[in-house]
Amino acid sequence: MANSASLRALPGLLPAAAAVLLLAARVANLERRLHQADRCDLTGALRRNVFTVRAEQFLDRYGDNALIAMVDVDAFKQINDTAGHAAGDQVLAQTAARLSQWAGSRGIVGRLGGDEFVVATYAGRNRRVARLQQLQRLLCMPVPHGVHHSIDVSVSIGSATSDTIKNATYSRLLRAADVALYRGKHSGAPMVAVASDAEVPSVNGRRLGRPGTALLTAAAGGDAR
């Protein structure tokens, strides 16, 4: 009798089960779309605003063992002009993939825009130099393009840590890493920020002296901070 009652109830349970499965599929689809919205379509790196939030959380969690590194692909316009935009896209995508590989499971990678990336990773004081040198070598490996071709790549890297930079918010660490990067531009060596790098004037969060900041300064009436 119990089995007969269960069988009679089965038709009524099927629509409910189907509704639960449909809801689960919709939730999964929404989560996937939200995840995609957080990331750059081309590279898969976090978008700037999303990375900023995650980086602040990362700093709160790892403190002095957190390292912020900014990466700029050298002569990227020349890659686009000589090898084509598809090749340039491949360089950007491969750079993001290599940054993710280097950062590891605890790290995060963001795209600031154009050919500029930022990464936050765990790096103890005794291993920072070796880790940054490893990153330089990794990012400067030729990028495969097509069947028998590759693209030579070079990058500039600047890094900053909260045990060197006072009042080390993410914004100040990024500014210091930016200054360090441009101090060593095209040197072939990763640069580490010093305390004074965080005090360099900026315009709208960009280091004063970078392309475009002169126009921003003029529009603001010469106000740089």
Residue 60, domain CATH: 3.30.70.270
Which residues form the domain of 27? Answer: 1-33
Domain assignment present for 186? yes
**Are 29 and 121 in the same domain?**
no
Looking at residue 222, its pLDDT comes to 52
Name the DSSP class of 126: G
CA-atom Rg of the chain in angstroms = 23
CA distance 55 to 120: 7
Looking at residue 201, its pLDDT comes to 83
**Are 59 and 170 in the same domain?**
yes
CB count within 10 Å of CB 80 equals 16
115 is catalytic: yes
**Are 26 and 49 in the same domain?**
no
**Are 89 and 187 in the same domain?**
yes
Name the DSSP class of 208: T
Domain assignment present for 92? yes
Q: Residue 187, by phi and psi: left (phi above 0), alpha (psi -120 to 50) or beta? A: alpha
| Pair 100, 120: CB distance under 8 Å | no
**Are 192 and 95 in the same domain?**
yes
**Are 113 and 28 in the same domain?**
no
**Are 65 and 116 in the same domain?**
yes
CA distance 62 to 124: 10
Looking at residue 60, its pLDDT comes to 96
pLDDT by residue, tens only, the chain of 225 residues: 556 655 565 566 657 666 566 555 554 554 454 445 799 999 999 999 999 999 999 999 999 999 999 999 999 999 999 999 999 999 999 999 999 999 999 999 999 999 999 999 999 889 999 999 999 999 999 999 877 889 999 999 999 999 999 899 999 999 999 999 999 998 889 999 999 999 988 765 566 666 544 444 444 455 444
| Pair 45, 92: CB distance under 8 Å | no
Name the DSSP class of 46: B
**Are 18 and 73 in the same domain?**
no
**Are 112 and 139 in the same domain?**
yes
CA distance 30 to 5: 38
* Structure-token pair, residue 196: 């004074």
| Pair 134, 72: CB distance under 8 Å | no
Which residue is it, tokens 């095209």?
186
Domain assignment present for 217? no
**Are 58 and 114 in the same domain?**
yes
**Are 18 and 108 in the same domain?**
no
Domain assignment present for 218? no
Q: Which of 72, 115, 178, 197 is catalytic?
A: 115
**Are 95 and 185 in the same domain?**
yes
Looking at residue 30, its pLDDT comes to 45
Domain assignment present for 146? yes
Whole-structure pTM value: 0.76
Looking at residue 147, its pLDDT comes to 78
How many structural domains does the chain have? 2
